[in-house]
């Protein structure tokens, strides 16, 4: 019988509500959920094509061991045995989980509980490390917590929206639709786009600032200094609610306008105009995304932005605030359960003995990892040099997506025991697995995700599980039980896991931590089935609410104050005579990550059919390349061959190549093979922008 199920899109961090209609004949159609507060019925091209991606071609339908079909018991026994053996012989830090912002919160929760509480290592990291960990680190330095202060409504309420390092039109399209509609109805609203490329997002911009890669710290330091010297700061707020202002101001004042111009690549006139616009507009939202985060100075860039909002008290009030846009559908949910190697569950700190003790007692765990684990890039280095003896990769394809991807592939090949849980049988990573475990895909999975504005929504199943595929949380819990932890992993359902997660957020919290969804600690199956999208926090006994943070202070540092952070503009430019061009990687409108789902849709693949490099006409002329020629791009780490797209949208000296294509879709197109394994020293996030390369006609 035909039915309609409300669920959530599996792609970007906007987290749009989707209605899946399954007809009498089993055919699925998709439309936007008009009642979901993230999108109010809107969908982008990717979301509206979801029904075209549901076939079972290429699916992994049964467990496999060494390429042969195996039963679940045999495969799970082997995984438990090999992990237990590695731990017994080499200690808990000899094993690792590499997970994903594609996992549902319930999957993530069980993975984190098993690794940090029962195995006793913090070697669990996620591909969200590649996406937003610099924002997490910046939030924690400034706010004492990983808190996004505002809501999506703020973008519509603002009089000035600054988009830096964000191609919102392609990477968060429904939010772009909301912003465009707001600007159309209030033409006095201003939009500033800061990006080395003139992206589609810049089409609605009143000002496009074609910044140098990594020029953002200088730009926002200069803005901070300008706000102080022009008297635009809120001294009462600074005195009452913050610390570190003088040191941060001194650092921000290091460059004069000429120096700022040189460091940012913007003219003095552009700088003056932007600074004046920000100074004179009360309602300002600054959105930032991977163009800020994916940098060797990503955390400093985030804090340079936060400094400007703290100084003007433009935070946590309608239409005002800094806004981190997460890339993935559940990067936020992963953060909430401690899916990063340097965090504990429920936004608690792994470095704090009191927090470790709280989590240990709540879980009834024998121990809780006492130090941060290996972050993504370091984790695969440890695989390469033999420190990691057993690795479990879930719902991600690191052989394509991590920097220095060829070295990552060599490391995975070298690892003594690799488990891959995935929906697909053939991925660049899965082909190196000793054990393959078939996972549920979108439309089959059951759980929750959190979007960029802290809104938790249900992903509901509307398709039967194909073959023998099982949920990721179930796979993890089954292995945990076989490792001797049956009592702690006896969850009967995602609803039971969500209730435990909510109860932990409430446990000995009393308002000391930002993440609190204690109102759902006793949720039952009917309640979970009917759960409406809600924003956290929702403490015990409270109704769903719209909550902004920090308008009146209330930061989560022990003294309750927010922190200005003194940051210096990075001085080193990676390019040199041998590699004179700067490569920036990013997304296109109609593909998602390594295209394992969107690559199934002919409609989506028709937008941009093959990997390409955007190159400025002057650079194209220098290397003798014409539009549509094949181009070889090389770095010291690897090479790729892509089609030239000669365009003045690109700044001279810069190249843009999308990160989606892999060797399944085009020969030698894994662009992350060129990216140096350089990371931000605070967040551990790789610098997937500003890579020194050279280019030549193929």
Q: Which residues bind ligand SF4 (CB under 6 A)?
A: 9, 11-12, 14-16, 39, 43-44, 46-47, 172-174
What is the DSSP track for 532-566?
PPEESP--TT---------TT---SSTTS-EE---
DSSP H/E element including 393: strand 390-394
What's the min distance (Å) between Cβ of 38 and ligand SF4? 7
The residue (of 16 and 419) whose beta carbon lies closer to ligand SF4 is 16
Shortest CB 459 distance to ligand SF4, Å = 12
Other C-beta atoms lying within 10 Å of the C-beta of residue 606:
9
- C-beta of 39: minimal distance to ligand SF4 in Å? 6
Least CB distance from residue 163 to ligand SF4, whole Å?
Answer: 15
Q: How far is the CB of 88 from ligand SF4 (least distance, A)?
A: 43
Under DSSP, the state recorded for 45 is H
Backbone angles phi, psi at 633, to 5 degrees: -115, 135
Helix axes 245-252, 298-311, angle to 10 degrees: 120
- Residue 5: strand pairing partners: 20
State which residue, 36 or 317, has the beta carbon closest to ligand SF4. Answer: 36
Nearer to ligand SF4 among residue 17 and residue 562 (C-beta)? 17
Q: How far apart are CA 436 and CA 61, in angstroms?
A: 10
Of the pair 47, 518, the CB lying nearest ligand SF4 is at 47
Describe the strand order of the beta sheet including 190-194 as a list of residue ranges.
207-209, 190-194, 160-164, 284-288, 321-324
CB of 173 or CB of 215, closer to ligand SF4 = 173
Smallest distance from ligand SF4 to CB 246, Å: 42
Distance between CA atoms of 438 and 679, rounded to whole angstroms?
A: 32
414 burial class (0-12, 13-18, 19+ CB within 10 angstroms)?
middle
Q: Which residues neighbour 14 within 8 Å (Cβ) at sequence distance 6 or greater?
A: 38, 39, 172, 173, 174, 175, 451, 452
Half-sphere exposure of residue 77: CA atoms within 13 angstroms, side-chain side: 5
CB of 608 to ligand SF4, least distance (A): 16
Asked if omega into 253 is within 30° of 0 (cis), the reply is no
Which residue's CB is nearer to ligand SF4, number 44 or number 383?
A: 44
Longest dimension (CA), the chain: 70
Q: How far is the CB of 208 from ligand SF4 (least distance, A)?
A: 22
Complex with ligand SF4: residue 451 or 475, whichever CB lies closer? 451
Q: How many DSSP H helices and E strands does the chain contain?
A: 24, 26
Nearer to ligand SF4, 39 or 294 (CB): 39
Residue 174 CB, shortest distance to ligand SF4, in Å, is 4
DSSP for 156-217?
HH-SEEEEES--HHHHSHHHHHHHHHHHHH-TT-EEEEE-SS--GGGGG-SEEE-PPTT-HH
CB atoms within 10 A of CB 2: 10
What is the enclosing helix (H) or strand (E) of 359? Answer: helix 353-363
Minimum distance from residue 437 beta carbon to ligand SF4 (Å): 26
Q: Quote the least distance from Cβ 144 to ligand SF4, whole Å.
A: 30
In the complex with ligand SF4, the residue whose CB is nearer, 16 or 271, is 16
Structural contact between residues 576 and 593, judged by C-beta atoms closer than 8 angstroms: no
Terminal-to-terminal C-alpha distance of the chain: 56
Please identify, using beta-carbon distances, which residue of 62 and 587 lies nearer to ligand SF4: 587
Q: Which is nearer to ligand SF4, 46 or 616 (CB)?
A: 46
Pick 46 or 454: Cβ nearer ligand SF4: 46
Of the pair 275, 534, the CB lying nearest ligand SF4 is at 534
Q: How far is the CB of 12 from ligand SF4 (least distance, A)?
A: 3
143: left (phi > 0), else alpha (psi -120 to 50), else beta?
Answer: alpha
For the bound state, the minimum distance from the C-beta of residue 18 to ligand SF4, rounded and expressed in Å, comes to 7
Non-local CB neighbours of 510 within 8 Å, separated by 6+ positions:
none
Q: Please tell me whether residue 309 adopts helix, strand or coil conformation.
A: helix
The strand pairing partners of 439, in sequence order, are 470
Reduced to 3 states (helix: H, G, I; strand: E, B; else coil), residue 652 is coil
**Of 127 and 475, which has the nearer Cβ to ligand SF4?**
127
How many whole angstroms separate alpha carbon 347 and alpha carbon 142? 15
User: Under a CB-based contact definition with an 8 Å cutoff, are residues 505 and 516 in contact?
Assistant: yes
621: CB partners within 8 A, 6+ apart: none
Residue 192 near residue 159 (C-beta atoms within 8 A): no
For ligand SF4, the closer of residues 173 and 334 by Cβ is 173
Alpha carbons 698 and 684: distance in angstroms, whole number: 35
For residue 397, the minimal CB distance to ligand SF4 (Å) is: 18
User: Which of 15/117 has CB closer to ligand SF4?
Assistant: 15
Least spacing, CB of residue 587 vs ligand SF4, in Å:
10
**Among the listed residues 269, 237, 253, 238, the one whose alpha carbon sits nearest the alpha carbon of residue 304:** 253
Length of the chain: 698
Q: Report the run of H or E that residue 242 belongs to, with start and end.
A: strand 242-243
Q: How far is the CB of 177 from ligand SF4 (least distance, A)?
A: 8
Q: Which is nearer to ligand SF4, 174 or 405 (CB)?
A: 174
| Shortest distance in whole angstroms from residue 168 CB to ligand SF4 | 10
Name the residue whose CB lies closest to ligand SF4: 47
Cα–Cα nearest to 109, from 611, 408, 496: 496
């Amino acid at each position: 019988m035909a039915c309609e199920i409300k669920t959530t899109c599996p792609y970007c961090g906007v987290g749009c509500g989707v209605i899946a209609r399954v007809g009498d004949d089993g055919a699925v159609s998709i439309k936007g959920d008009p009642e979901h507060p993230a999108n109010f019925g809107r969908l982008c091209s990717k979301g509206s094509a979801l029904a075209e991606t549901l076939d079972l071609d290429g699916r992994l339908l049964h467990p496999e061991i060494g390429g042969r079909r195996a039963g679940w018991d045999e495969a799970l026994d082997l995984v438990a045995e090999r992990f237990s053996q590695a731990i017994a012989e080499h200690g808990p830090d000899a094993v690792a989980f590499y997970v994903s912002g594609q996992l549902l919160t319930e999957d993530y929760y069980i993975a984190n509980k098993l690794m940090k509480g029962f195995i006793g290592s913090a070697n669990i990291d996620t591909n969200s490390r590649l996406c937003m960990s610099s924002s997490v680190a910046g939030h924690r330095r400034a706010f004492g917590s990983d808190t996004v202060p505002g809501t999506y409504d703020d973008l519509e309420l603002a009089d000035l929206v600054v988009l830096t390092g964000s191609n919102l039109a392609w990477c968060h399209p429904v939010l772009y639709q909301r912003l465009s509609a707001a600007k159309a109805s209030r033409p006095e609203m201003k939009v500033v786009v800061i990006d080395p490329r003139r992206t589609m997002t810049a089409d609605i911009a009143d000002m496009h600032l074609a910044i140098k890669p990594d020029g953002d710290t200088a730009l926002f330091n200069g803005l901070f200094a300008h706000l102080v010297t022009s008297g635009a700061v809120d001294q009462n707020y600074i005195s009452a609610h913050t610390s570190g202002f003088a040191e941060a101001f001194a650092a921000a004042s290091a460059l004069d306008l000429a120096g700022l111009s040189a460091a940012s690549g913007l003219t003095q006139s552009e700088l003056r105009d932007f600074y004046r616009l920000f100074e004179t507009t009360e309602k300002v939202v600054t959105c930032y995304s991977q163009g800020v985060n994916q940098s060797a100075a990503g955390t400093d860039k985030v804090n340079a932005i936060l400094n400007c909002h703290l100084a003007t008290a433009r935070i946590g009030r309608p239409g005002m605030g800094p806004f981190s846009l997460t890339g993935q559908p559940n990067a936020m949910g992963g953060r909430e359960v401690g899916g990063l190697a340097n965090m504990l569950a429920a936004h608690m700190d792994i470095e704090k003995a009191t927090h470790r003790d709280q989590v240990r007692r709540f879980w009834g765990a024998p121990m809780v990892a006492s130090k941060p684990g290996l972050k993504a890039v370091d984790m695969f280095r440890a695989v390469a040099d033999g420190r990691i003896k057993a690795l479990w990769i879930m719902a991600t394809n690191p052989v394509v997506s991590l920097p220095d991807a060829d070295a990552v592939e060599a490391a995975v090949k070298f690892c003594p025991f690799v488990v891959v849980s995935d929906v697909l049988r053939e991925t660049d990573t899965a082909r190196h697995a000793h054990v393959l475990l078939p996972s549920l895909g979108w439309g089959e999975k059951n759980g929750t995700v959190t979007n960029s504005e802290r809104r938790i929504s249900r992903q509901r199943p509307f398709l039967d599980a194909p073959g023998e595929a099982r949920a990721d949380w179930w796979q993890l819990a089954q292995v945990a039980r076989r490792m001797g932890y049956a009592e702690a992993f006896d969850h009967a359902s995602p609803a039971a896991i969500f209730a435990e997660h909510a109860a932990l957020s409430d446990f000995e919290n009393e308002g000391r931590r930002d993440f609190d969804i204690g109102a759902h600690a006793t949720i039952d199956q009917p309640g979970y089935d009917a759960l409406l999208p809600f924003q956290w926090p929702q403490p015990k006994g409270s109704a769903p609410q719209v909550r902004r943070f920090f308008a009146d202070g209330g930061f989560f540092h022990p003294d309750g104050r927010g922190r200005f952070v003194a940051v210096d503009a990075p001085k080193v430019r990676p390019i040199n005579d041998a590699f004179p061009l700067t490569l920036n990687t990013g997304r296109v409108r109609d593909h998602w990550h390594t295209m394992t789902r969107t690559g199934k849709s002919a409609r989506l693949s028709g937008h941009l059919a093959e990997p390409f490099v955007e190159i400025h006409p002057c650079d194209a002329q220098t290397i003798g390349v014409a539009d549509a020629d094949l181009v070889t791009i090389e770095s010291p780490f690897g090479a790729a061959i892509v089609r030239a797209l000669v365009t003045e949208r690109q700044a001279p000296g810069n190249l843009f190549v999308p990160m989606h294509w892999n060797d399944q879709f085009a020969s030698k197109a894994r662009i992350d093979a060129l990216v140096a394994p350089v990371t931000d020293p605070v967040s551990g996030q790789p610098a997937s922008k500003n890579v020194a390369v050279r280019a030549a006609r193929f």
